[in-house]
Amino acid sequence: MIGRDGHGRGGAAGTARRASCTLAAILVLLCPASLPSQERWTLDLGTEVADTSIGSSRQRWWSGRAQLAYRREGVGAGFLGSETQARDGDTDVTVFASGYRHLGDWTVYGKLSVGPEADFLHRYWVEGEASRRLVGTLVGHLGYRFLEFRAATRHLFMPGATLYLAKGELEARAFLVQDDDLGARGRTLLLRGTWDVHPRVSLGAGVALGTRIFDVSSIAGANADAWTAFGNVRVRLTPRDRIELSVSVSHENPSFDQRAIGLAYRRTF
């Protein structure tokens, strides 16, 4: 529930449609610092392939993402994009719009994503978050996310904190999930960090531990302990171009395993 959200429908067929909770990240190469412009447009294109095992069933899941963003330094940013995911012969498409705005020590964020015909992905995603600088470079977050799927409705409460460092950042965030339809609950803790090892190269890594990370709608009362570990490298090719490579390994009891690799490209205009 901390990444790409989905739901199961019971039995092998339902389990096969679990959302992968892959936390995408990236590989970017050796180049000068960022562009001097205070306003900039960016285009992000990314893809991910995941080998997924559910009991004795082995599947290959694929996702693709395109996003256009406008950023104004010190003010905020807006994003517009689409994501396509294919699993076991089925394909879902969602479109989204999101943005954030700085207001002194506060930052507010919102997102709306829709896929009215989606089968395993969400049909509606509404999210809001408020962040505030607490002391120094420590920022606290409090967010809420509403998700409606074909056969389930979920609420996520997401408290967290981020410490911004001279050459990176550290984040801790909790995801508290309530499924209205089955009364199932999930709790997950995410820990992640990034570090600029070179003006052109950044590394990232993290881990998420909890329950029902991938399928909060699985049988109530069942052991659904889960974890996912991920890493990425980001390299800046030119002042306007970068690439990102990410890998992740995930498991959820009793029989869900996944290994994924992603590649993304960003162009700044």
pLDDT at 184: 66
Q: What is the DSSP letter of 32?
A: -
Residue with more model confidence, 164 or 18: 164
Residue ranges per domain, the chain? 11-268
pLDDT at 20: 38
Locate 26 and state its tokens.
């990236």
Residue type, 13: A
**Residue 140: alpha-carbon gap to chain centroid:** 19
Please count the residues of the chain: 269
Mean pLDDT of 140-147: 97
pLDDT at 52: 94
Condensed to tens digits (0 to 9), the pLDDT of residues 86-102 reads 998 899 999 999 999 99
pLDDT at 183: 65
Residue 99: burial class (beta carbons within 10 Å; 0-12, 13-18, 19+): middle
Mean pLDDT of 42-59: 94
* Confidence category of residue 178, pLDDT binned at 50, 70, 90: confident
- The span from the CA of 250 to the CA of 51, in Å, is 11
Q: What is the DSSP letter of 255?
A: T
Are the beta carbons of 95 and 114 closer than 8 angstroms?
Answer: yes
CA torsion angle 179 180 185 191 (round to 10): 50
pLDDT at 63: 97
- 125 DSSP β-pair partners: 113, 147
On average, the pLDDT of the chain sits at 85
State how beta strands 256-268 and 106-114 pair: unpaired
Condensed to tens digits (0 to 9), the pLDDT of residues 196-235 reads 999 999 999 999 999 877 764 454 455 688 999 999 999 9
User: CB within 8 A of 166, min separation 6: which ones?
Assistant: none
Mean pLDDT of 250-269: 94
Residue 109: burial class (beta carbons within 10 Å; 0-12, 13-18, 19+): middle
User: CB within 8 A of 132, min separation 6: which ones?
Assistant: 105, 106, 107, 139, 140
Mean pLDDT of 123-132: 98
pLDDT above 80: residue 79: yes
pLDDT above 80: residue 119: yes
Locate 216 and state its tokens.
């909060």
pLDDT at 190: 97
* Confidence category of residue 181, pLDDT binned at 50, 70, 90: low
pLDDT above 60: residue 31: no
Percent of the chain at pLDDT above 70? 81
Looking from the CA of 93 toward its CB, the CA atoms found within 13 Å total: 3
* Confidence category of residue 161, pLDDT binned at 50, 70, 90: very high
Dihedral (CA of 44, 49, 53, 57) sign: positive
pLDDT at 215: 60
- The span from the CA of 39 to the CA of 136, in Å, is 26
**CATH placement of domain 11-268:** 2.40.160.60
pLDDT above 70: residue 74: yes
